[in-house]
């Protein structure tokens, strides 16, 4: 497998502070705009800031899926919440921190340690996290499906 890959995108300005991101190899385009926290920003549209945080978060997921497959981890659910901290550092705006909170569901207590190991290996191998200056705060959680189902049953009775 070749170890150099290129990814191409095109951004086209549409109007105001809004444009469209495309790639010749993808069917879908993404509307992008200045976020509402900035002058003339537009609510309800993906911003570069959202895409930055989503890139880190989605890379964690895709890396987790590959590592979990290699470790033969049996899991029933993966979800990750991420929060990016944008602030002024050395007189420039910078995404200084990204907090990742992945949640994985496994079937038994015996798989919790393995799932946690897979999560930590995934975070360490994530190419986007390894390519940015932001501090990555990693707060993984592994839940046992049987315990979750038991809690739901108790709440319903």
DSSP per-residue string spanning 62-130: HHHHHHHHHTT--EEEEEEEEEEEEEEETTEEEEEEEEEEEEEEESSGGGHHHHHHHHHHHHHH-TTGG
How far apart are alpha carbons 31 and 37 in whole angstroms? Answer: 17
106 backbone φψ class: left, alpha, beta (φ>0; ψ -120 to 50): beta
Determine the length of the chain.
157
Give the tens place of pLDDT for each residue, 16-48. Answer: 999 999 999 999 999 999 999 999 999 999 999
* Segment (H or E) for 22: strand 18-22
State residue 152's pLDDT score.
64
CATH 3.30.230.10 for the 47-156 domain, yes or no: no
Eight-state DSSP code of residue 39:
T
User: Considering the chain, what is the average pLDDT of its residues?
Assistant: 95
């Amino acid at each position: 497998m070749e170890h150099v890959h290129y990814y191409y995108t095109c951004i086209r300005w549409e109007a105001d502070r809004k444009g469209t991101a495309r790639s010749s190899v993808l069917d879908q385009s993404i509307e992008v705009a200045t976020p509402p926290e900035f002058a003339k920003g537009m609510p309800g549209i993906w911003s570069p800031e959202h895409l930055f945080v989503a890139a880190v978060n989605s890379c964690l997921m895709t890396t987790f899926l590959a590592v979990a497959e290699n470790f033969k981890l049996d899991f029933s659910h993966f979800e990750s919440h991420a929060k990016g901290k944008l602030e002024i550092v050395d007189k420039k705006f910078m995404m200084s921190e990204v907090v990742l909170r992945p949640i994985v569901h496994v079937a038994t207590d015996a798989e919790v340690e393995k799932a946690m190991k897979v999560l930590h290996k995934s975070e360490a191998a994530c190419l986007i996290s390894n390519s940015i200056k932001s501090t990555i705060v990693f707060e993984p959680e592994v839940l046992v499906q049987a315990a979750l189902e038991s809690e739901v049953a108790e709440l319903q009775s």
